[in-house]
Chains A and B, each alone.
Chain A
Amino acid sequence: MSGAAGNIYDLGYRGYDGPRVGRRAVAVALLRQTLAASYGIGRGGRAKLVPFGLGALGLLPAVLAVGIAALVSQAGPAGPNLEEASPIRHDTYQGLSATIVMLFCAAQAPELFGRDQRYGVLPLYFSRSLGRADYALARLGGLALAVFALSIAPHIVLTLGAVLAATDPLTGLANEAHEVPRALAISVLDAGLLAGVAGVIAAWTPRRAYATAAIIGAFIVPPIVVALSARLAAGGLARALVLVTPGDLLDGANAAIYGSIPDSPAVAAAGLPAWSYLAAAALGIAVCVTLMLRRYVRITV
């Protein structure tokens, strides 16, 4: 007779009487999983390469700026002037990192939205208590949070750097306090709009390569059209197009939030009131959410 420890007992199937969570908690869990998957967490090592690589690239200017500030603070009386001259500030960061954020969206959105469609997993989601709208919002929300993290992280580094480099950290904190709402505002718009556009395109384009190409196209083609129409002296058209071009729109919104001069010549030339950029960004986000819901409510599974 073999020892009891050596036996494998078939216990058969057992039921589950434990706790169950409601629909909202399931949606939150899906959102968290989406956020993690945006950074390749819960997937293989290779899946982390692109998101973390882009994250590091996005942070690099901020880290450099903090390093320079630390050196400058030892440079004596010339310090403050040098710091003013730095091109890496809160108000310029949106312009610095926009391309990286767009690449992040183009790389990750197709993975999040296309995978479930390509492999036919959607029927399994929709045959559970999770609703179609829950799924759409959780996925989009997860991607938007990932983009928000990417967008706000450099601002956090800049703020921490400024506080630590200040002779009196408390004064440094007080000086930086007004940056917090502005950084939050531009990061929310960044996240909502870029994740929204990328998510909608990816949701309608299950094939990964096509989706990535389409997202990059959506981010780089409109500015070319804007520049062309401006060149062709169609000023009215160029002004309207600035508001539907994600990059220009966010540039304008950034300038509106910081009261600074926009990076893009097209935005500067358009001369639209500051509020119009904020309103257009909010409207753009609403349109993306609507399109996303439509996609998943109507999709046949």
Chain B
Amino acid sequence: MPLIATEGLTKRYPGSVTALDGLTLSLEPGIIGLVGANGAGKSTLLRILLGLLEPTSGSATVLGHDVATDGARLRRSVGYMPESDCLPPDSSATDFVTQMGRWSGLPASAARERAAEVLRHVGLYEERYRQIGGYSTGMKQRVKLAQALVHDPRLLLLDEPTNGLDPAGRDEMLALVRRTGTEFGIAVVVASHLLGEIERVCDFLVAIDAGRLLRAAPLGAFTERTGALAVEVEDNAAALATALTAAGLRVTVDGRTVLVELGDDQQYDAVRDAVAELGLPLVRMQRRRHGLEDLFQ
């Protein structure tokens, strides 16, 4: 049973704005990155998966529950961290997370214990008794994550969890997400417009653009090696290119770098020999990888 499956999921907002356009997906448990530019439909997809929003057409199941008909049971096993502000400033983190635990179906005493537990897990200690209004953005994001975790969900849906955080805060939040996903076996979907961040925490990547699926694959496939070897030399790249072409290799020159199309290992020898013969100062030889950015170009 897939974690999340959608079939032709479409959402049109009034005024002919299409947020999702026939999205069909099947995702297995893990840490899943949902990546796309602002307005690509990430938040819309998460909200449909939670049953907060009704799709215009198409269907979706989460943890085997149909979003349209079995929303209440589905939501019991899901934790949601919205992108927007969702914390009352006049409440303390402890009180707020305890209440959210209760509304998730925990008995009163269990909700209190769980609130203390998850607030500690996200790194809020003494400050959890203070009013949220006085918190930094980083602390607020932690409270938002804590309320999503309080009922020990099987799936976490995180919408831009690093929003508004400074670089150190981002690192900490990403480490927290990664830890929650790997050590505790909770499936996580992280939506972000920042490829660099997503890359650091996810095993699987779903790229959407203008509501359409661009690609869904394990992270490795996105950054898989291309059949090119980059040879960087201090100078005279042109001479190297000529020599390699003469040796029967297909090359292109990019500044100080010569890109060599790879076939088999013998080409490495040809490159080595050519560089040695010309006496060129070699800086590096590296297999080229696709950057995630290439996806959106």
A residues lining the B interface (CB < 8 Å): 12-16, 18-23, 25-26, 29-30, 33, 42-44, 115-116, 119-121, 123-131, 300-301
Contacts and interface: CB of A to CB of B under 8 A. Distances in A.
B103 A125 contact: yes
Q: Secondary structure at chain A's binding surface: helix, strand, loop or mixed?
A: loop
Given A19-B107, A120-B84, A124-B86, 14 more contacts: A13-B180, A20-B106, A29-B108, A116-B88, A119-B85, A119-B87, A119-B89, A120-B82, A120-B86, A123-B82, A128-B76, A128-B103, A129-B75, A131-B72
Interface string B41-63: 00000010011110000000000
Contacts of A30: 102-103
Given A21-B107, A124-B86, A16 B151 contact: yes
Given A123-B80, A127-B50, A127-B78, A26 B183 contact: no
A112 B88 CA distance: 12
A301 B85 contact: no
Interface of B: 47, 50-53, 72-73, 75-76, 78, 80, 82, 84-90, 95, 99-100, 102-108, 110, 114, 117-118, 121, 147, 149, 151-152, 179-180, 183-184
A22 B103 CA distance: 10
A246 B118 CA distance: 47
Contact of B80 (A25, A124, A131): A124
Contacts of A119: 85-89
A121 B86 contact: yes
Contacts of A121: 86-88
A301 B52 contact: yes
Contacts of A25: 105
Contacts of A43: 90
Contacts of B106: 16, 18, 20-21
Nearest to B53: A300
A289 to B, nearest CB: 21
Contact of A115 (B84, B88, B180): B88
Contacts, number: 102
A26 to B, nearest CB: 6
Contacts of A22: 105
A15 B86 contact: no
Contact of A19 (B53, B78, B88, B110): B110
B99 A33 contact: yes
Nearest to A47: B90
Given A12-B183, A121-B88, A123-B86, A129 B76 contact: yes
A16 B82 CA distance: 23
Contacts of A42: 95
A58 to B, nearest CB: 26
A18 B108 CA distance: 12
3 cross-chain pairs, A with B, having the tightest CB-CB distances, nearest first: A16-B152, A127-B80, A20-B105
Given A33-B99, A43-B90, A129 B104 contact: yes
Contacts of B117: 13-14
Nearest to A16: B152
A124 B107 contact: no
B102 A26 contact: yes
Given A33-B99, A123-B52, A16 B80 contact: no
Given A12-B121, A12-B183, A42-B95, A124 B105 contact: no
